[in-house]
């Protein structure tokens, strides 16, 4: 990890609570940073298992215990954050307790690795999360012993890592595109560099595609008639074998990022399965094409001026698939940047990020209809129509969907009222070196009038349980309709009011008087200077001399 002697002067802990894995990075006062190892690995499975006594096992202990009774196992608590409670075995558990159990394991490993030191903790979350989800995440951190954790948006943390740790040049006014392809979700973000740090300009993505969908495609490709017992288990032994099958498929997929072939034994059937990288890329292509299309559409909507794009950064474990970078480079014309361990980017970047999210702050524009900016006067049916067929062309003088961050303050201002419960940005960045201007809740802020990009359907919060059939990958969504070009970014000046003719004539007369009176007064003073006479006598002498000079 990188060392920054001039950086933080205190112990810090950055935690990235992910869908499938949780990563934590410790940073010492001298700038040294390294990941917190849990059972010898920097990746802690974000999984929980309800033991018969009521206690919760987390991480790899939960994964191993799931083979005993899969009904007590939840592999992805993050995708259950909106459910309130989750049934594990015969008992219901609050989702906040499941998340707190994972974070408590992180806190335990922190004290084991660093000592009895209370760190300054940063906790990452998706930029599209609203106040309810952020509040639940902060509450879980407090229950885990990480009180006062600072929340940082994942794209902001990734962009900070891109600039601070990798040393990439990201000048004020430029943007970084973060392509976050994880196990269960995908997010594409345009993060703008401002005078005070980084701020999310726009987000788009899918909550129902990720590395798990590639696993499902592999299972569907390799399955035979004999696999029916694995895919639809009815006994405890079959449920254990099904869990083992999905683990082996995931491991084979990861191996194909480094090798050309991978083999594994199909549990319960005692047969071997063979997979090649070419097969993997063919199976993963429908999912990866969707991520590339979303990223390309987001950049097209952002309409970046020439030279504003500082780079494309790949994060998330699923971005290790070599085809991801190949497709993005081919479509965007910009070679993406990917590091050896993309899972660690967000955790370490959150420590260095200056921008923090309040648990009650609004979210950035996201992929679901609930998180979008809705202008005043728009009906709910209009919101659904925009999400399905694309935004209408902007008509001057009317309201329209706006981006949460306006990176070009010289654009023509619109007239709209923000929704305080949706996705209004808390600050408007400026690229002229001045600090960001905080938006007041009562007054509508000035924003760009370009229409917002099409919005994807609502997310699917629950990952496929062990008892259910594997997910079937949906066909790629059709490309959005051609977006109407935004209005020109030329500031319109209001015409000045014409002054009255009388005022105009009065100004002219006053100017003439001044032009005549001032030189005469100066001549009079100069003529009588030093003779000791009064101004009246001097004036009479001056008039007499002028008349004699003119022969009058």
Would residue 537 count as lying in a domain?
no
How much is the CA Rg of the chain, to the nearest whole Å?
Answer: 33
Q: Which domain holds residue 400?
A: 12-210+281-438
The pLDDT score that the predictor gives to residue 440 is: 36
Would residue 462 count as lying in a domain?
no
CATH number reported for the structural domain that contains residue 166 in this entry: 3.30.420.40
Would residue 496 count as lying in a domain?
no
The pLDDT score that the predictor gives to residue 326 is: 93
Would residue 529 count as lying in a domain?
no
The pLDDT score that the predictor gives to residue 361 is: 56
Would residue 165 count as lying in a domain?
yes
Please tell me the pTM assigned to this model: 0.64
- The domain total for the chain is 1
The pLDDT score that the predictor gives to residue 130 is: 86
Q: Kindly give, in sequence order, each residue whose CB lies less than 8 Å from that of residue 302, ignoring residues fewer than 6 positions away.
A: 175, 190, 201, 202, 403
In 3D space, the residue among 378, 398, 382 whose CA is nearest the CA of residue 390 turns out to be 382
- Which DSSP state fits 408? -
d(CA 400, CA 377): 10
The alpha carbon torsion through 273, 274, 280, 284 (nearest 10 deg) reads -10
CA distances from 383 to 316, 367, 375 (A): 31, 13, 10
The pLDDT score that the predictor gives to residue 129 is: 87
Extract the tokens encoding 526.
Answer: 């100069």
The pLDDT score that the predictor gives to residue 209 is: 86
Would residue 132 count as lying in a domain?
yes
Q: Where are the beta strands (DSSP E) in 12-148?
A: 12-17, 21-27, 33-35, 44-45, 48-50, 56-58, 73-74, 85-88, 91-94, 120-125
The pLDDT score that the predictor gives to residue 348 is: 92
d(CA 223, CA 540): 120
Extract the tokens encoding 249.
Answer: 């498929």
DSSP β-bridge partners for residue 153: 125
Per-residue pLDDT tens listing for the chain (552 residues): 444 444 456 899 999 998 889 999 999 998 889 999 998 899 999 999 999 988 999 999 999 898 888 889 999 899 899 999 999 999 999 999 999 999 999 999 999 999 888 999 999 998 888 889 999 999 999 999 998 899 999 999 999 999 999 999 999 989 999 999 988 889 999 999 988 889 898 898 887 888 889 999 999 999 998 898 888 888 888 888 888 899 899 999 999 988 999 999 998 888 999 999 999 999 999 999 999 999 999 988 888 888 889 999 999 888 989 999 999 999 998 899 988 889 899 999 999 987 666 555 555 554 333 333 222 222 333 333 334 444 444 333 333 333 333 333 333 333 333 333 333 333 333 333 333 333 333 343 343 433 333 333 333 333 333 343 333 333 444 444 444 444 444 444 444 444 567 777 888 888 888 888 888 788 777 777 667 677 777 778 878 887 787 777
d(CA 299, CA 296): 5
The pLDDT score that the predictor gives to residue 447 is: 38
The pLDDT score that the predictor gives to residue 25 is: 95
Q: How many residues does the chain have?
A: 552
271-309 CB burial, b ≥16 within 10 A, e <16 = eebebebebbbebbebbbebbbbbbbbbbebbebeeebb
d(CA 216, CA 233): 16
d(CA 257, CA 241): 25
Would residue 517 count as lying in a domain?
no
Would residue 388 count as lying in a domain?
yes
């009562």: which residue's tokens? 442
């Amino acid at each position: 990890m990188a060392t920054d002697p001039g950086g933080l002067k205190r112990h810090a802990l950055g935690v990235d609570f992910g869908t499938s894995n949780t990563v934590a990075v410790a940073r010492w006062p001298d700038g040294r940073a390294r990941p917190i190892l849990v059972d010898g690995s920097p990746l802690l499975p974000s999984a929980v298992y309800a033991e018969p006594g009521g206690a919760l096992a987390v991480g790899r202990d939960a994964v191993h215990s799931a083979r005993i009774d899969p009904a007590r196992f939840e592999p992805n608590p993050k995708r259950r954050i909106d459910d309130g409670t989750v049934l594990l075995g015969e008992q219901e558990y609050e989702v906040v307790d499941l998340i707190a159990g994972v974070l408590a394991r992180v806190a335990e490993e922190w004290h084991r690795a660093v000592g009895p030191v209370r760190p300054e903790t940063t906790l990452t979350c998706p930029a599209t999360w609203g106040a309810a989800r952020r509040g639940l995440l902060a509450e879980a951190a407090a229950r885990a012993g990480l009180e006062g954790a600072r929340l940082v948006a994942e794209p902001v943390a990734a962009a900070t890592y891109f600039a601070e740790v990798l040393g990439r040049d990201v000048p004020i006014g430029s943007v970084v595109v973060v392509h976050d392809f994880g196990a269960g979700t995908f997010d594409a973000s345009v993060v703008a560099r401002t005078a005070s740090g980084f701020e999310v300009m726009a987000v788009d993505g899918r909550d129902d595609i990720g590395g798990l969908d590639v696993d499902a495609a592999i299972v569907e490709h390799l399955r035979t008639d004999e696999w029916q017992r694995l895919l639809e288990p009815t006994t405890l032994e079959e449920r254990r074998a099904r869990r083992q099958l999905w683990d082996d498929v995931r491991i084979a997929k990861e191996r194909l990022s480094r090798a050309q072939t991978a083999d594994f034994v199909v549990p319960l059937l005692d047969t071997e399965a063979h997979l090649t990288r070419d097969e993997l890329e063919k199976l993963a292509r429908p999912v990866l094409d969707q991520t590339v299309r979303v990223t390309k559409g987001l950049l097209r909507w952002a309409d970046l001026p020439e030279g504003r794009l500082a780079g494309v950064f790949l994060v998330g474990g699923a971005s290790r698939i070599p085809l991801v970078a190949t497709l993005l480079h081919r479509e965007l014309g910009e070679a993406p940047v990917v590091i050896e361990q993309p899972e660690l980017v967000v955790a370490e970047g959150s420590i260095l990020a200056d921008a923090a999210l309040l648990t009650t702050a609004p979210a950035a524009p996201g992929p679901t209809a609930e998180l979008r900016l809705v202008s005043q006067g728009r009906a709910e049916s209009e919101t659904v129509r925009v999400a399905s067929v694309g935004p209408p062309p902007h008509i001057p003088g009317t309201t329209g969907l706006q981006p949460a961050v306006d990176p070009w303050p010289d654009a023509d201002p619109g007239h709209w009222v923000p929704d305080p419960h949706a996705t209004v940005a808390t600050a408007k960045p400026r690229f002229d070196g001045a600090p960001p201007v905080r938006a007041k809740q009562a007054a509508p802020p000035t924003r760009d009038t370009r229409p917002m990009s099409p919005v994807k359907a609502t997310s699917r919060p629950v990952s496929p349980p062990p008892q259910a059939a594997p997910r079937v990958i949906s066909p790629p969504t059709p490309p959005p309709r051609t977006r109407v070009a935004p209005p020109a970014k030329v500031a319109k000046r209001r015409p000045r009011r014409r002054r009255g003719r009388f005022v105009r004539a009065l100004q002219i007369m006053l100017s003439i008087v001044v032009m005549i009176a001032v030189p005469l007064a100066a001549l009079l003073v100069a003529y009588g200077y030093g003779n000791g006479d009064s101004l009246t006598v001097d004036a009479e002498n001056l008039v007499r001399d002028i008349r004699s000079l003119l022969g009058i």
